[in-house]
Amino acid sequence: CSSGFIANPRARKLICPDCKNVTCAQCRTSVSIIVNLMLGVTWEAAHEGISCVAFARWKADNDAEVAAQGVAKHLAECGITCPKCKFTYSLAKGGCMHFTCTQCKFEFCSGCGQPFRQGKKCTVGPYCERLGLHAHHPRNCLFYLRDKEPQQLQNLLKEAGVSFDTEPQGGSSEHQGSGTRALCQVQEQKELPDGLKDDICGRVVPNGYAGLCRLHYTEYLVEKINTHRLDPVGIFDEADLRVCLRRNGKTVPIRRWESEKLYKDKLIKLIKEHLPLEALE
């Protein structure tokens, strides 16, 4: 309420004589409380017998709004949404990129959201009949980039002026024991004899990979590439370029007199002209 009153400066529990609201005097005035979480919050039974700092921590751990924000943040970072029914999932790292929605049974790529279809049911082009179950991934999808060397992906980011990490955050990474190499701490869902289990990746961390294994560092770099909408066609080899054209229903020109570089440049030009990245996303 808007009333004011004079209180005993030693009193911790303040009771308003008008509205009878009970407030903690220390929490209202302390600026050292975690993010000032308790400012203006009324007295709760959980505050009995514990300090304001301890109560603030308890409040943060049990606050529904804070929990909802944490879930939203986690889904924004690790979630995928079904393109058909819009149901959102928390995606565990590891495993294949073929995802089936448990709600509507729609099959799609976890990297780009493109649908998976059986060969003859896909109408993109005649080449699809030979592919069996497949999806038409845009060329910046992890499907195309997961086998690239991290240095290639780094060079693509450098050329675009995009920064990326090479050392773990905080300057350290987890070690299995004294004298052993660091192990990747990314959480994965692993298939074990007794079922699925969430566990750390556990692969060895190479130097300069930001505390991640090669697999997860590649995923990190690809996320950077996609966030900044970079076109990776320049780091594709001839085989990648041919696949990119065929999977999108385009005829691959026959190499005649051209050198390897001229032929590759020819394929890149065709892709950029007829398959602009924006149209594939």
Contact indicator for 175, 183 with CB cutoff of 8 Å: yes
Q: Identify the active-site residue in 1, 85, 96, 122.
A: 96
Residues 68 and 70: their CA atoms lie apart, in Å, by 5
Residue 96 annotated as catalytic? yes
Burial class from Cβ neighbours inside 10 Å (0-12, 13-18, 19+) for residue 61 reads: exposed
Tell me the one-letter amino acid at 160.
Answer: A
Tokens representing residue 64 in the block: 């529904």
The angle, 0 to 180 degrees and rounded to 10, between the axes of the packed helices 260-274 and 238-247 is: 30
Three-class secondary structure assignment of the chain: CCCCCCCCCCCCEEECCCCCCEEEHHHHHCCCCHHHCCCCCECCHHHCCCCHHHHHHHHHHHCHHHHHHHHHHHHHHHEEECCCCCCEEECCECCCCEEECCCCCCEEECCCCCECECHHHCCCCHHHHHCCCECCCCCCCHHHHCCCCHHHHHHHHHHCCCCCCCCCHHHCCCECCCCCCEECCCEEEEEECCEEEEEECCCECCCCCCCCCHHHHHHHHHHHHHHCCCCHHHHCCHHHHHHHHHHCCCCCCCCCCCCHHHHHHHHHHHHHHHCCHHHHC
Catalytic residue ranges: 96
